[in-house]
Amino acid sequence: MPEPKLADGERGPVLFAVWRTSNAAQVDGFEQFLAREQLADIVPTYQLLRTASMWKECKAAPFEVPPKEVWPKVRDLLVLLRELRQQQVLHVFEVVSGYRGPALNRCAGGAPGSSHQLFAVDIAPIADSEGARLCGFWREHGQQWDMGVSRYPSGRVHIDRNGFRTWGASHQRVSSHCLAPADR
């Protein structure tokens, strides 16, 4: 059976294996943390460590292990992603962007206070029906999960645990897919 086509085919397992040879100790420590937290099977490591999609333009690495002080945020977000799968909100998705250091975030056009600097994920592809279920989950449970969610014009979806909020194409709440017209 052929491998599914990746949303970010360039930063796949092969490039990760090459990058990992120079970063083995950091990656091993990160994977040991995920294993201790019983979260190693939620998202493949190579996806979780992807930096901004504009990594080449910004002359940055394609992958980065977040600083250790960020790892609890990684744990918290993986717990949420596991819950979203268990609740059948999300099925198959790929993490196309995770942690970004401040310099890469600036270069990639991220907001000055971007949650990617604390740890957030952008995922793709998700079907419209999954997007609707995700918005429903956010409306019903987002506050207790301290969940931020957005769907960008590209179809990518941002998820974090850095505050209960939503936004859309204009980077404002009013443009969010997750709000009913009366809430905008």
What mean pLDDT comes out for the span 156-182?
86
pTM above 0.85, yes or no: yes
Assigned domain for 3 exists: no
Does 181 score more than 90 pLDDT?
no
Look at residue 61 in the predicted model and tell me its pLDDT: 96
Q: Which of 77-86, 149-158, 162-171 has the highest mean predicted lDDT (pLDDT)?
A: 77-86
Does 2 score more than 50 pLDDT?
no
Assigned domain for 5 exists: no
Lowest mean pLDDT among 56-60, 167-171, 174-178: 167-171
Assigned domain for 6 exists: no
**Per-residue model confidence as pLDDT tens digits over 111-166:** 888 999 999 999 998 888 899 999 999 999 999 999 999 988 888 999 999 999 99
Provide the CATH number for the domain around residue 115. Answer: 3.30.1380.10
Count of domains for the chain: 1
Look at residue 184 in the predicted model and tell me its pLDDT: 47
What distance in Å separates the CA atoms of residue 88 and residue 63, rounded to the nearest whole number? 29
What distance in Å separates the CA atoms of residue 46 and residue 122, rounded to the nearest whole number? 14
Assigned domain for 4 exists: no
| Length reported for the chain | 184
Assigned domain for 17 exists: yes
- For 160, the domain range is 13-183
Assigned domain for 8 exists: no
Q: Residue 182, Cβ neighbours under 10 Å: how many?
A: 5
Assigned domain for 150 exists: yes
**Per-residue model confidence as pLDDT tens digits over 13-57:** 999 999 999 999 999 999 999 999 999 999 999 999 999 999 999
Assigned domain for 133 exists: yes
Residues 6+ apart with CB under 8 A from 133: 88, 89, 90
Does 1 score more than 80 pLDDT?
no
